[in-house]
């Protein structure tokens, strides 16, 4: 197998105002009522609501997903149409690629503050499968004996 490594990226969202809602659009809203800390909820529209204006007043405008270099919203590593795979086991030789799901995205947003690892090849290029980048949860750095 070719040597690969991971590049840290940041999942970012850009809202836009569509002419009409369509199945497959993504939404990102914050849940603040009844929770100690706000929780972000990312979801994909599965059916067109009867009252689109009311729906968007509750959940906001749709968003497009991009992956940027952490701290630099200008440098885009992957556009929404290039995001598609999730590696369930990046430390395994073969990995376990599955389609990226809303569940993965919600975990990335809420548990990893939007930080994500992208698989890169030995030349430093972001690796793709079927034209889509491969994401995984950010590897946690191990603490040394001093707790650092």
What's the CA dihedral at 14, 108, 115, 98 to 10 degrees?
Answer: -100
Q: What is the pLDDT, as a whole number, of residue 144?
A: 47
| Domain boundaries of the chain, sorted by first residue | 5-137
- How far is residue 18's CA from residue 25's CA, in Å, rounded to a whole number? 10
> H/E/C letters for each residue in 62-120?
CEEEEEEECCEEEEEEECHHHEEEEECCCCCCCCCEEECCHHHHHHHHHHCCCEEEEEE
Diameter of the chain measured on Cα atoms: 58
pLDDT digits (tens, 9 = 90+) for 42-100: 999 999 999 999 999 999 999 999 999 998 778 899 999 999 999 988 777 666 889 99
Q: What is the pLDDT, as a whole number, of residue 121?
A: 86
């Amino acid at each position: 197998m070719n040597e690969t490594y991971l590049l840290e990226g940041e999942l970012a969202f850009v809202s836009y105002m569509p002419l009409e809602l369509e199945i497959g659009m993504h939404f990102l809203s914050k849940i603040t009522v009844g929770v100690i800390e706000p929780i972000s909820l990312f979801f994909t529209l599965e059916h067109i609501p009867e009252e689109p204006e009311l729906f968007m007043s509750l959940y906001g405008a749709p968003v497009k997903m991009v992956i940027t270099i952490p701290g630099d919203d200008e440098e885009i590593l992957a556009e929404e149409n290039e995001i598609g795979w999730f590696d369930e086991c990046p430390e395994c030789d073969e990995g376990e690629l599955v389609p990226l799901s809303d569940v993965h995205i919600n975990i990335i947003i809420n548990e990893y503050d939007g930080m994500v690892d992208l698989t890169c090849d030995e030349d430093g290029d972001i690796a793709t499968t079927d034209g889509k980048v491969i994401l995984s949860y950010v590897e946690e750095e191990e603490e040394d004996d001093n707790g650092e």
